Amino acid sequence: MAKTTPVTGSSAHLDLAGALPVVPESTTSRVLVNNDLMRVVQFTFDAGEMLTEHSSPRAVVVQLVTGRMRFTVDGAEHTMGEGDIIYLAPGASHALVAETPCRMTLVMVDTAV
């Protein structure tokens, strides 16, 4: 489990491209913020990498930073490009396939707090 970061403390996460490069034939991730209100995770995917269908009890915002991917939400497929954002309601099923090497930021927000 990732180290908890206090809600009351600010933080900076710099040089993520250098610290979390796209690795050939891999999916990698790094938890940046993890507290009672939210969890922020940066992912990298090589072309062809995928996450199979799953869901989260939290509300989720996904932003594709670089690359292109197909992102499916509740059976509807969306082609995402750099800078695109998808919001997932709590419990929404979702999956993705990276069409090119990608960097994605995911923010999970606890709606129960």
Q: Is residue 36 part of a domain?
A: yes
* Res 38 pLDDT > 80: yes
Three-state secondary-structure class, residue 35? coil
**Residue 6: exposure state from Cβ atoms within 10 A (0-12, 13-18, ≥19):** exposed
pLDDT band at 3 (very low <50, low <70, confident <90, very high): confident
CATH number at residue 45: 2.60.120.10
Q: Which pLDDT does position 5 carry in this prediction?
A: 83
* Mean pLDDT, residues 8-20 taken together: 91
Domains identified in the chain, total number: 1
Q: Which pLDDT does position 113 carry in this prediction?
A: 57
User: Are the CB atoms for 95 and 29 separated by under 8 Å?
Assistant: no
Q: Is residue 1 part of a domain?
A: no
Structure-token pair, residue 101: 């090497």
Q: Which pLDDT does position 55 carry in this prediction?
A: 97
Q: Is residue 44 part of a domain?
A: yes
Q: Which pLDDT tens digit goes with each residue over 65-77?
A: 999 999 999 999 9
- Residue 36's domain comprises 27-109
